Amino acid sequence: MKKAFTMLELVFVIVVVGIISVMIAPSFQNSSLRQAADQIVSHIRYTQHLAMMDNKFDRNISKWYKHRWQIRFVQNITNGPANCNDEDYPNIWTYMIYSNMNFACPGGICDNNPNIDEIAKNPLNNNELLTGGYSNSICPDNSYNNQDNQSISRMRLNEEYGITNITFGGGCRSDVKYINFDYIGRPSNAFPKDSPYELPVAGRHNLLTSACTITLTDGIDNIVISVEPETGYTHIQ
C-alpha cells in the first residue's frame, strides 16, 4: 500500500526549504560584486597567460624583465587639454592589462605607465583594448579614441558594478596595486630593481611568498580574490 505524505511532513519540508533559501539568498543579493570578482579573476589569469606566452626576454635590453605583462588597478583618470575634452574622471576604479613592450628603458628606467599601443587587445574583439581608460592615454568615454582602440566600459568597476574601493593585502604591498607574472607564470607585486629573479626585501615585494589578496567593496559588502604564490593560481575566497 502506497503511503502519502502527511500534512505535518509537508509543513516540515516547506520549513526546511525556506531556511535553506534564506541561507542561500545573500549570495544572490549582491551578484554585481561577484560578477566584478569573476571578471577580474578571468583577466588576472589572462595576464598570466600573456606573460607565459610572451616573456619579453631580449638579450639587447638589460632591463627586459621590466616589460613583463601586468594587470594594474587605478582609481583616478586625469587628462590634459588635448585628451578627452579635458575632462577628469576622479574616483573611477578601473584596471588594465599591459606591458612596456615598446619602451626601451633608457638609462635602465622604465616609466611603468601604459601607452595606448602597450595595452593588450581584447581577444574577443580586436577593436577593444583591455582597459577602462587611462590618464592621457585612452579616454573612458572613447571621445578621442579611434575605432580600433576602444576602452571597455565593464572594466570601469564603479560604473558597471558599483565598486567603491579596492585594497591589496596579504603577500602584496598595499600601496602598489598591480601584479605581473614571469615566464613560468609566477606572480610578483613589484618589478625587480636589479635582476629578474629578486626575492622580497624590505619595502619591495617581488616574487610572492604568500597569497596576495585583492578586496573589492561596494560600500556595503566585500569580496576577496586571492593570487597564490609560485603557481599564480587565482580564485575567490
pLDDT in tens, 66-93: 888 999 999 888 776 566 777 777 788 9
Range list of β-strands (E), 59-156: 70-74, 94-98, 121-122, 125-129
Please report whether residue 12 resides in a domain: no
Domain hosting residue 74, numbered range: 32-236
Please report whether residue 7 resides in a domain: no
Which of 140, 43, 143, 149 minimizes the C-alpha distance to 90?
A: 140
- What the block records as the C-alpha cell of 59 is 638579450
pLDDT at 21: 47
Residue 215 buriedness (CB in 10 A; 0-12 / 13-18 / 19+): middle
Q: What is the pTM of this model?
A: 0.81
How many angstroms from the chain centroid is the CA of residue 72?
6
pLDDT tens digits, one per residue of 11-52: 455 545 544 544 444 554 469 999 999 999 999 999 999 999
- The domain total for the chain is 1
Please report whether residue 93 resides in a domain: yes
- What the block records as the C-alpha cell of 188 is 610578483
What is the torsional sign of CA 101, 104, 107, 113?
Answer: negative
Which of 175, 48, 158, 182 minimizes the C-alpha distance to 92?
A: 158
Please report whether residue 21 resides in a domain: no
Please report whether residue 208 resides in a domain: yes
pLDDT tens digits, one per residue of 46-70: 999 999 999 888 788 777 888 889 9
SS3 category, 233: coil
Distance between CA 80 and CA 237 in Å, rounded? 40
Please report whether residue 191 resides in a domain: yes
Which of 121, 127, 71 minimizes the C-alpha distance to 96?
A: 71
- Give the least confident one: 92-96, 104-108, 192-196: 104-108
Please report whether residue 22 resides in a domain: no
What value does the CA radius of gyration of the chain take, rounded to a whole number of Å? Answer: 22
Please report whether residue 225 resides in a domain: yes
